[in-house]
A and B are shown apart, each in its own frame.
Chain A
Amino acid sequence: DAGVTQSPTHLIKTRGQQVTLRCSPKSGHDTVSWYQQALGQGPQFIFQYYEEEERQRGNFPDRFSGHQFPNYSSELNVNALLLGDSALYLCASSIAGTGLHGELFFGEGSRLTVL
């Protein structure tokens, strides 16, 4: 049973560029959430996708956008990269039917470095 998979694992970009990160949820999961984890900090919620729509959003600017595909996989896009966007980006999947009780299953993350 494959868990949550993310790609790429590492990438380096320069300021002003754009990046796309990808995530495949755990088998049987239909909801994908994205988190940003800066060095030495806890994960911060970016947004959540269910049924191909953004359902909730954290306190992140519009430069951060996403998409969910019919097979439940998801992409995170960040435009006009800033140095402060350097972080580990974590994808987490869950089952919508578990509601507030359900735990999240995390991928290994994509480490983004902005120079």
Chain B
Amino acid sequence: AQSVAQPEDQVNVAEGNPLTVKCTYSVSGNPYLFWYVQYPNRGLQFLLKYITGDNLVKGSYGFEAEFNKSQTSFHLKKPSALVSDSALYFCAVRDQYTGRRALTFGSGTRLQVQP
């Protein structure tokens, strides 16, 4: 079965500092990994995805994520945080082996950027 873990319920960072939101996954085959952001009382917005190729993936709003197969991780990063980045972030995975199209989401990490 596929699963995702986001070990931090909340991450606090000062504006202008780099940020990292952690994600680890478990799948049987090759993973397809996604990051989404959710603002209060809104749906989820797609940020970026890893399918294959370069381990560093660039996405929307200056976010990037690094895929690490040996550590089964897909951490979200941004070099310089903005107050407007404060939101709820979800990591999600699909398993190439099972072929299930449903995305499995983590429990989410709340990012709080202080001015």
Contact = CB atoms under 8 A, between A and B. Distances in A.
A35 B104 CA distance: 10
B42 A108 contact: yes
A90 B32 CA distance: 21
Interface centre among A33, A58, A103, A108 (most CB of B within 10 A): A103
Contacts of B32: 100-101
Given A48-B101, A106-B44, A100 B94 contact: yes
Q: Could you say which interface size class chain A belongs to?
A: 20 to 34
A44 B51 CA distance: 22
Interface string B84-115: 00000010001010011111111110000000
Interface of A: 4, 31, 33, 35, 40-45, 48, 55-56, 58, 90, 92, 94, 99-101, 103-109, 111
Contact of A104 (B4, B100, B103): B103
B55 interface: no
B34 interface: yes
